[in-house]
Amino acid sequence: MFYHYFVDNMGCFPSKTKRVQETTAFVHKVEDLKILPSTFVQINQRSFLKVYKLGRSLGSGAFGEVRFCTHKKTNARRAVKIFKKDIFTNEIDKEKLVKEIEILRILDHPSIVRAYEFFEDPADFYIVMEHCRGGELFEEIMKKKQFKEEETAIIMKQIFSCLAYIHSKHIIHRDLKPENILLDDHSDFLNIKLIDFGTATKFNPGSKVKGALGTAYYIAPEVLAGSYSEKCDMWSAGVIAFVLLAGYPPFEGANDEEIIQKVKVGNYSFKGSTWNKVTEFAKDLIRHLLVPEKDRLSAIEALNHPWIRDVNINNVDNGKLQSTLQHLTNYNSTNKLRDAVNTYIVTQLTSNNDTKEAREMFRALDTNGDGKLSREELIRGYVKPGGITEEDVDRIMREVDTDLNGYIDYTEFLKAAVDQQKYASQSNLKIAFEMFDRDGSGKISALELKEMLQGENATNNELWNELIKTVDQNGDGEIDLKEFEDIILNKF
């Protein structure tokens, strides 16, 4: 079955996988256990149709289609990308799907679509993802024709943040276009989601990538030449900015061949009444994007451009800042099981509405827009306005930065900043318990913990028994629902 190919080659699910190494390599003690959002992005062995109810089609392509779906137990609304197995006629096609899933699993950014889980049956493979009600940015362009400059800057700031984030992880999107940018809600330009990593690839810093992929209007000239870097995404971003402001692309033609020839030449114009209304700041940014690769801005440089830097996406009041600070200050990640369950609930069971306020706080604190919070950003955001000390910030970093990468990543921030009452509901705790209790016995065993937390690479199997002991109040060597709830609600 393709499942075996998927497991053996992608390496992120049970038995001898990279995912295990990613989360628990060389783990000897409970305190060394790291829980990442990707820990819970797993292949579900159940039938897709037993877990989800399929809804209307949201789009289709050569691979299959994207459909709306509803999680039967939680009523969560999601989207599922369905791949027909018969399209995988060779190993290269299979490797492309593996690469897309491998990339989707590790992405953790407020403006990048979240993957939840994967399924397989004899005919199809399924990727279950976040559903965005607002549709494609392309559809908004068709309706509006032109965007106001402020709207464009708000959208572009989020795009640059996505690119800064994925480029820092050595990923190139390679097909950035309005069709691959969704709105979280109708006409909600404050919350976009970058999707479709089907042509994305990993790169080695300083090395060039080969292979011409992309869409004619948005493809960079160096991609057409067959050797390029992550800055090809920045060219595509420049084209998007041009289209949003003007209502038409910088390089036009009767067909793809004509468009590509114009892209290769690289000439475009700001002439006409439309551009007379656009500020020099906006034009200057585009000029620094639609240029040869060596002269092109990086994503971080674009975020520092005056036209983008001065855009305030989220106006947050001091009261909300203080409330979030209180949650961050109170967060305690000492108990690894509590931290793992919090991660599961925040990534798998909470809605965008549940995390809306925390998402706004994250963006407000992320002043350089790279999709993660540094110690310096926390100091700027809280030491002066909040009256806390740098030592307080260091304590927050120690507790909240659970993967110890030196930054507070998006999910790390959410599980600490979101009011626990919003996500640790009785129903969410019961669903989480049932997910950990894989055999449905009513208790979580050491083996089930190991399977759920992808712990095959932990060198000390006794670790899982030790983890249970941290919450096992009756001493039976397993975790029942009450013990599970007590540890999450800090009653134990």
Tell me the domains of the chain and their CATH numbers.
Answer: 2-130 (3.30.200.20), 137-309 (1.10.510.10), 318-469 (1.10.238.10)
User: What DSSP character marks residue 297?
Assistant: P
pLDDT higher for 23 or 222? Answer: 222
Binding residues for ATP: 81
Share of the chain above pLDDT 90, in %: 67
Average pLDDT over every residue of 305-314: 88
| Secondary structure (3-state) at 130 | strand
Per-residue confidence (pLDDT) for residue 491, from 0 to 100: 61
pLDDT surpasses 60 at 254: yes
Considering the chain, what is the average pLDDT of its residues? 89
Q: What is the model's pLDDT at position 457?
A: 52
- Output 86 or 179, whichever has higher pLDDT: 179
Query: What is the per-residue pLDDT for 25?
Result: 52
Tracing tokens 């137990």 back to the chain, one arrives at: 73
Distance (Å, whole) CA 306 – CA 240: 18
Bigger pLDDT: 236 or 10?
A: 236
Tell me if 480 sits within 8 A of 434, measured CB to CB. Answer: no
Task: Please give the average per-residue pLDDT across 69-95, as a whole number.
Answer: 90
pLDDT over threshold 70, residue 13: no
Rounded to the nearest 5°, which phi and psi values hold at 297? -65, 145
pLDDT at 8 over 60: no
- Local structure of residue 113 (DSSP, 8 states): P
Task: Assess whether pLDDT exceeds 90 at residue 414.
Answer: yes
Q: For residue 62, give every residue at least 6 positions away whose Cβ sits within 8 Å of its Cβ, in sequence order, or none.
A: 87
Identify the CA nearest to 303 among candidates 165, 175, 460, 115. Answer: 165
Interval 292-298 mean pLDDT: 98
Average pLDDT score over residue span 323-344: 90
Reply yes or no on whether the pLDDT at 342 is more than 70. Answer: yes
DSSP string, 468-482: HHTT-SS-SSSEEHH
**Alpha-carbon distance values, 178 to 237, 384, 451 (Å):** 10, 39, 39
pLDDT of residue 6: 44
Please give the average per-residue pLDDT across 198-203, as a whole number. Answer: 94
Reported pTM: 0.91
Give yes or no for residue 5 having a pLDDT over 70.
Answer: no
Among the residue ranges 10-19, 131-140, 200-209, 271-280, the one predicted with the least confidence is 10-19
User: Among the options 32, 108, 175, 486, which is catalytic?
Assistant: 175
Tell me what the mean pLDDT of segment 404-430 comes to: 90
pLDDT tens sequence across 420-477: 777 788 889 999 999 999 999 999 999 999 888 875 555 567 888 999 998 999 999 9
* Mean pLDDT along residues 147-151: 94
The tokens of 118 are what? 């994967």
Which single residue is written with the structure tokens 């690479």? 457
- Is pLDDT at 3 greater than 70 in this prediction? no
SS3 235: helix
For residue 67, give the nearest of 56, 76, 75 by alpha carbon: 56
Is 175 noted as a catalytic residue in this protein?
yes
